Amino acid sequence: MTVHTLVRSTGRRGWTVRCDACEHTFAAAVAGRPEAVAFAETNGWIVGERTWCPMCAAAHTARRTA
C-alpha cells in the first residue's frame, strides 16, 4: 500500500509534493491530497512508490525504458 509521505499539507497554500531524489518541491494550491497528486502528475511529476520531480522522472524513465 502506497502512502504519500512526501505529500504534505502546508496550511494556507495547500499541499507540497517533495521529490524523493532531489530537493525539488511542487506547491499545489488545492484542497486535498488526491488533487495535489493529480496536479503534480499533470505537471510531469511521478507520485507513487517514489515521488519524483519531472527532471528526476525523466532521468529514471530514460534509464529504465530506453
Binding footprint of Zn ion on the chain (CB under 5 A) = 19, 21-22, 24, 53, 56
Closer CB to Zn ion, 19 or 36, in the complex: 19
C-alpha dihedral (51, 54, 58, 60), degrees to nearest 10: -20
- Distance (Å, rounded) from C-alpha 33 to C-alpha 3? 11
User: Min. distance of Cβ 45 from Zn ion in angstroms?
Assistant: 9
Q: Is 15 helix (H, G, I), strand (E, B) or coil?
A: strand
User: Min. distance of Cβ 21 from Zn ion in angstroms?
Assistant: 5
Closer CB to Zn ion, 22 or 29, in the complex: 22
